[in-house]
Structure 1
Amino acid sequence: MNFTKTIKKALYQVGCILLSPTAMVMLGLIGWCVLPGISSGSGVAYAQNTNATIRGQVFDPTGALVPSAKVVIVNEQTNVVVFNGVSDSAGAFVAPQVIPGTYRITVSADGLKQAVINGLIATVAQIASINISMQLGGTAEVVTVEARGEQLDRSTSDVSSLISPQEVQNLPLQQRATENLLSFIPGVAHGGAGNQPSTSQLSINGSRTLNTEVLLNGVSTIVASTGTPATLPSPDGVDQFRVITTNAPSEYGRTSGAVISVNTISGTNVYHGNLYFLLRNEALDANKFFNKLTINSTTGKVTPRARDRFFQAGGSVGGPVRIPYLYNGRDKTFFFVNYDRTFSPSTTNLAFTTPTAAQRTGDLSNAPQKIYQPGSTTSPAFANNKIGPIDPAAAKILALLPLPNTIGSYDAANNRYTGNWTSQQNFQNTTVKLVARVDEQLTLKDRLSFNVYRFTTSTPNPVSWNSTLLNTTWDCTCNNAWLPSIDYTRVWTPTLVMDLNMGFFRNVVLRNPPGVGQNASQQLGIASLPLDQTPELIFGATTGATSTSSTNAISDIGADTNTNQVNITNTYTPFGTVTKTVGPHTFKFGASLRKNQFNSYNPATSPEGQILFDGTITNHGAAGNPNTQIADFLLGKIKTAQYEQSQPPTGRRNYNFGLFLQDDWRVTPKLTLNVGIRYEYESPLTIATNIYSRIDPVTGNLWAAGLNGVSRSLNITTPKANISPRFGLAYSVNDKTVVRGAFGTFYGTIFQNLGGQLAYPGFDNVISNNNLGTGVAQPFSLSQGLPLAPPPNLQNPFAALVGSSASNPYSVGISFNDQNHMPLVQQWNVGVQRQLPLLLTLEVNYVGNHALHLSYNLNENVVPLSSVPAVTLANTSVATQNASPFPNLKQFQVNNNSGGSNYNALQVTVRRQFNTRLAVLSNYTFAKSMDDGSTIYNFSAPNGTANSQYAVAGPNFIKDLAVSNIDVKHVVNIAMIYTTPGPWWLRNWHISPVFIGHTGLPINITQTNEIPGSSQRPNGNAQLLKLAHPTTNGAALQYYVSASDPNFPLTASGPVYNTINGVRTQIVATGFGNVSRDSNRAPGEVDFDASVSKDFKILEALKFQFRVDAFNVINHTNFQSPSGALSVTAAGNAATFATSSGFGKITGTQPARTMQLSTRFFF
Structure 2
Amino acid sequence: MSYTASRAPCGRASIRIVLLASAMACATPGLAQTVTASIRGTVAHGPNATITAVDVNSGASRSATANAQGSYALPGLRPGTYEITFTAGAATTRQQVTVGVGESSTLDVDVAPPVAAALSGPQIVVTGRRLVETRTSEVGTNVTTQQIQNLPQASRNFLNFAQLAPGVRVSNNPNRKTFSGSGVSQSPNGESLGGPQVNVFIDGVSLKSDIQQGGIVGGDSSKGNPFPQAAVQEFRVISSNYKAEYEDAGTTVISAVTKTGGNEFHGEVFGFDQIDALRSKDYFQKKNAAAGVADDGKFSQKQYGASLGGPIIKDRLHFFVAYEGNEQRNVESVTLGQRTPDNLARFGDKEGSFTSPFREDLGFAKLTLEATEADTIDLSGSIRKEKDTQGFGGQTAYEAGSNIKNTVYTGRLRWQHNKGDFLNEASVDYLYFKFDPTPIEPDTIGQQYNNAIRIGGASTSQKVVQKGFTLRDNVTLSNIDFLGGNHVVKFGGKVAFVDYTVNDAVNANPVFNYNNDPSQNEDFTQPFEALYGVGDPTVHAKDTQVGLFAQDDWKATDKVTFNIGLRWDYESNAKNNSYVTPPDAVAALNALQTTLAAQGGDFRASDYISTGKNRKPFLGAFQPRVGVSFDAFGDQRTVFFAGWGRYYDRTLFRNAAEEQLLRQYTSRSFEFSKDGADRNGQHTIQWNDSYMSKDALDQLIASSNAPAGELRIIRNDVKPPRTDQFSIGVRQKIGRMLNASISYNHVSAQDQIGYYPVNRSVNPNATGFYDFIPVTGFANVVAMTQARASKYDGMYLTIDKPFTKASPWSINIAYTLSFSKERGYDFNFDHPDVAAQPYLPNAGDERHRVVVSGMAQLPLDFQISTLMVFGSGQPYQVIDTRNGTGAGVVIANTGRTKDFRQVDVRLTKDIHLFGHDRTDFQLIAELFNVFNRANFGGYDGYSPTTNASFGTPNDLSGPPRTFQFGARFTF
Pairwise TM-score range, normalised by the shorter structure = 0.7 to 0.9
State the 1:450 CA deviation: 1.6
Tell me, yes or no, if the aligned pair for 2:285 and 2:353 is still in contact at 8 Å.
no
Whole-angstrom CA distance in 2 between matches of 1:452 and 1:698? 49
Question: 2:471 aligned with 1:574, yes or no?
Answer: yes
**Match of 2:12?**
none
Whole-angstrom CA distance in 2 between matches of 1:1145 and 1:221? 37
**Match of 2:102?**
125
Question: 2:865 aligned with 1:987, yes or no?
Answer: no
Q: 1:1087 aligns with which of 902, 908, 932?
A: 902
Whole-angstrom CA distance in 2 between matches of 1:871 and 1:749? 36
Whole-angstrom CA distance in 2 between matches of 1:461 and 1:910? 40
Q: 2:215 aligns with which of 215, 228, 233?
A: 228
Please tell me the residue identity of whatever aligns with 1:219: V
Whole-angstrom CA distance in 2 between matches of 1:546 and 1:1013? 21
Alignment of 1:250-399 (within 5 A): 250-296=244-290, 307-321=298-312, 329-345=313-329
Alignment of 1:1072-1111 (within 5 A): 1077-1100=892-915, 1101-1111=918-928
Tell me, yes or no, if the aligned pair for 1:718 and 1:820 is still in contact at 8 Å.
no
State the 1:762 CA deviation: 3.6
Could you say if the C-alpha distance between residues 646 and 543 of structure 1 is closer, same or farther in structure 2, counting changes exceeding 3 Å?
Answer: farther
Could you say if the C-alpha distance between residues 198 and 988 of structure 1 is closer, same or farther in structure 2, counting changes exceeding 3 Å?
Answer: farther
**Match of 2:4?**
none
Whole-angstrom CA distance in 2 between matches of 1:427 and 1:1011? 38
**Match of 1:964?**
842
Whole-angstrom CA distance in 1 between matches of 2:112 and 2:268? 44
Normalised TM-score (structure 1): 0.68
Whole-angstrom CA distance in 1 between matches of 2:91 and 2:531? 87
Please tell me the residue identity of whatever aligns with 1:86: T
**Match of 1:1042?**
none
Secondary structure of 1:1157 counterpart: strand
Please tell me the residue identity of whatever aligns with 2:490: K
State the 1:972 CA deviation: 1.1
Whole-angstrom CA distance in 1 between matches of 2:471 and 2:932? 48
Whole-angstrom CA distance in 2 between matches of 1:473 and 1:1146? 21
Residue deviations 1:466-525, cap 9 Å, x none? xxxxx977873111110111211112x30111111221111112245689xxxxxxxxxx
Question: 2:749 aligned with 1:851, yes or no?
Answer: yes
Could you say if the C-alpha distance between residues 717 and 894 of structure 1 is closer, same or farther in structure 2, counting changes exceeding 3 Å?
Answer: farther
**Match of 2:44?**
59
Question: 2:494 aligned with 1:592, yes or no?
Answer: yes
Please tell me the residue identity of whatever aligns with 2:574: L
Could you say if the C-alpha distance between residues 474 and 597 of structure 1 is closer, same or farther in structure 2, counting changes exceeding 3 Å?
Answer: farther
**Match of 1:159?**
139
Whole-angstrom CA distance in 1 between matches of 2:780 and 2:498? 31
State the 1:1102 CA deviation: 2.8
Could you say if the C-alpha distance between residues 109 and 603 of structure 1 is closer, same or farther in structure 2, counting changes exceeding 3 Å?
Answer: same
Could you say if the C-alpha distance between residues 284 and 55 of structure 1 is closer, same or farther in structure 2, counting changes exceeding 3 Å?
Answer: same
Q: 1:91 aligns with which of 70, 73, 77?
A: 70
Secondary structure of 1:1079 counterpart: strand
Question: 2:88 aligned with 1:109, yes or no?
Answer: yes
Q: 1:719 aligns with which of 618, 638, 648?
A: 618
State the 1:686 CA deviation: 5.3
Whole-angstrom CA distance in 1 between matches of 2:431 and 2:742? 38
Whole-angstrom CA distance in 2 between matches of 1:541 and 1:1003? 22
**Match of 1:1141?**
948
Whole-angstrom CA distance in 2 between matches of 1:477 and 1:654? 27
**Match of 1:1059?**
none
Please tell me the residue identity of whatever aligns with 1:343: E
Unaligned runs of 5+ in 2: 1-18, 187-194, 218-224, 336-340, 393-397, 514-521, 594-607, 677-684
Tell me, yes or no, if the aligned pair for 1:726 and 1:745 is still in contact at 8 Å.
yes
**Match of 2:604?**
none
Count of residue correspondences: 881
State the 1:1111 CA deviation: 1.4
**Match of 2:381?**
452
State the 1:85 CA deviation: 3.0
Please tell me the residue identity of whatever aligns with 1:342: N
Q: 2:148 aligns with which of 168, 171, 180?
A: 168
Q: 2:813 aligns with which of 898, 906, 922?
A: 922
Tell me, yes or no, if the aligned pair for 1:114 and 1:141 is still in contact at 8 Å.
no
Could you say if the C-alpha distance between residues 75 and 1004 of structure 1 is closer, same or farther in structure 2, counting changes exceeding 3 Å?
Answer: same
Tell me, yes or no, if the aligned pair for 1:68 and 1:89 is still in contact at 8 Å.
yes
**Match of 2:852?**
974
Tell me, yes or no, if the aligned pair for 2:334 and 2:352 is still in contact at 8 Å.
yes
Question: 2:969 aligned with 1:1161, yes or no?
Answer: yes
**Match of 1:893?**
782
State the 1:1015 CA deviation: 4.7
Bigger CA radius of gyration: 1
State the 1:823 CA deviation: 2.3
Question: 2:945 aligned with 1:1123, yes or no?
Answer: no
Whole-angstrom CA distance in 2 between matches of 1:885 and 1:421? 39
State the 1:817 CA deviation: 2.0
Please tell me the residue identity of whatever aligns with 2:627: G
Question: 2:427 aligned with 1:501, yes or no?
Answer: yes
Residue deviations 1:636-655, cap 9 Å, x none? xxx99997432253213333
Could you say if the C-alpha distance between residues 418 and 265 of structure 1 is closer, same or farther in structure 2, counting changes exceeding 3 Å?
Answer: closer
Could you say if the C-alpha distance between residues 688 and 48 of structure 1 is closer, same or farther in structure 2, counting changes exceeding 3 Å?
Answer: farther
**Match of 2:793?**
904
Question: 2:617 aligned with 1:739, yes or no?
Answer: no
**Match of 2:5?**
none
State the 1:186 CA deviation: 0.5
Whole-angstrom CA distance in 2 between matches of 1:770 and 1:844? 56
Please tell me the residue identity of whatever aligns with 1:336: F
Please tell me the residue identity of whatever aligns with 1:1079: T
Could you say if the C-alpha distance between residues 902 and 75 of structure 1 is closer, same or farther in structure 2, counting changes exceeding 3 Å?
Answer: same
Tell me, yes or no, if the aligned pair for 2:182 and 2:844 is still in contact at 8 Å.
no
**Match of 1:76?**
56
Alignment of 1:758-907 (within 5 A): 760-765=661-666, 809-865=707-763, 868-869=765-766, 880-881=771-772, 884=773, 886=775, 889-907=778-796
State the 1:273 CA deviation: 0.7
Tell me, yes or no, if the aligned pair for 1:652 and 1:688 is still in contact at 8 Å.
no
Could you say if the C-alpha distance between residues 752 and 979 of structure 1 is closer, same or farther in structure 2, counting changes exceeding 3 Å?
Answer: same
**Match of 1:654?**
543
**Match of 1:670?**
559
State the 1:787 CA deviation: 7.0
Tell me, yes or no, if the aligned pair for 1:205 and 1:848 is still in contact at 8 Å.
no
**Match of 2:365?**
436
Residue deviations 1:376-415, cap 9 Å, x none? xxxxxxxxxxxxxxxxxxxxxxxxxxxxxxxxxxx999xx
Alignment of 1:560-709 (within 5 A): 560-562=458-460, 564-581=461-478, 582-583=480-481, 584-606=486-508, 644-647=533-536, 649-685=538-574, 687=576, 699=590
Whole-angstrom CA distance in 1 between matches of 2:935 and 2:352? 34
Secondary structure of 2:828 counterpart: coil
Question: 2:219 aligned with 1:241, yes or no?
Answer: no
**Match of 2:518?**
none
Whole-angstrom CA distance in 1 between matches of 2:717 and 2:402? 40
Which region of structure 1 is more displaced relative to structure 2, 241-250 or 173-182?
A: 173-182
**Match of 1:521?**
none
State the 1:855 CA deviation: 2.0
State the 1:832 CA deviation: 1.4
Secondary structure of 1:760 counterpart: helix
* Superposition RMSD in Å: 4.6
Tell me, yes or no, if the aligned pair for 1:650 and 1:688 is still in contact at 8 Å.
no
